[in-house]
């Protein structure tokens, strides 16, 4: 019984060692492409202007999956959570979503690859170029 308990304790350690032999450790802990892109957009000062009720905004966030929480999102409807109506009005936002990236404005939900190109995002090494989000495009809601 004592030997069995010791072996069970060592089992996770053996699995971890075997796993590090099969994959690079940094790949195991590397953020997703979506998270890296969302963080990059935030870092460069990009903004996604939208409204909580906008289906195209919801679709844009879906493309980012769990990383949507990292997006530099600006709520333009006064009834939404943490609204910044004055910011939206100051830059003349009248369609959702609208992306502001490097001084340019882009209407509608954008494919992740387009957002990467517009923001000069350097794709992670080993990336195939077939990132999630494809080249689909969506019309903005007004």
Alpha-carbon distance of 59 to 115, in angstroms, equals 14
> How many domains does the chain fold into?
2
Does residue 70 share a domain with residue 6?
A: no
Does residue 112 share a domain with residue 43?
A: yes
CA distances to 56, 81, 106, 112 from 74, rounded to whole Å, are 14, 10, 15, 18
- Record the tokens describing residue 20, joined without a space: 């590090």
pLDDT of residue 27: 60
pLDDT of residue 139: 44
56, 140 Cβ separation under 8 angstroms: yes
- Record the tokens describing residue 14, joined without a space: 């053996």
pLDDT of residue 129: 45
Whether residue 124 lies inside any domain: the answer is: no
Range of the domain at 114: 31-118
Secondary structure of 77-93 in HEC code, one letter for each residue: CCCCCCECHHHHHHHCC
Whether residue 134 lies inside any domain: the answer is: no
The tens digit of pLDDT for each residue in 96-134 reads 999 999 999 999 999 999 999 999 999 766 554 445 554
pLDDT of residue 96: 98
Residues of the chain under the 50 pLDDT cut = 7, 15-19, 128-130, 134-142
């Amino acid at each position: 019984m004592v030997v069995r308990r010791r072996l069970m304790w060592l089992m996770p350690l053996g699995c971890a060692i075997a796993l590090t032999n099969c994959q690079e450790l940094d790949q195991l802990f590397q953020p997703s492409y979506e998270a890296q892109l969302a963080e990059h957009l935030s870092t460069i000062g990009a903004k996604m202007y939208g409204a909580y009720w906008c289906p195209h905004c919801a679709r844009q966030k879906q493309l980012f999956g769990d990383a949507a929480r990292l997006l530099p999102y600006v709520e333009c409807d006064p009834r939404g959570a943490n609204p910044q109506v004055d910011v939206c009005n100051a830059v003349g936002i009248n369609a959702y979503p609208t992306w502001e990236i490097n001084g340019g404005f882009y209407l509608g939900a954008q494919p992740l690859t387009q957002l990467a190109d517009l923001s000069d995002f350097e794709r992670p090494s080993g990336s195939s170029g077939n990132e999630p989000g494809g080249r689909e495009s969506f019309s903005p809601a007004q």
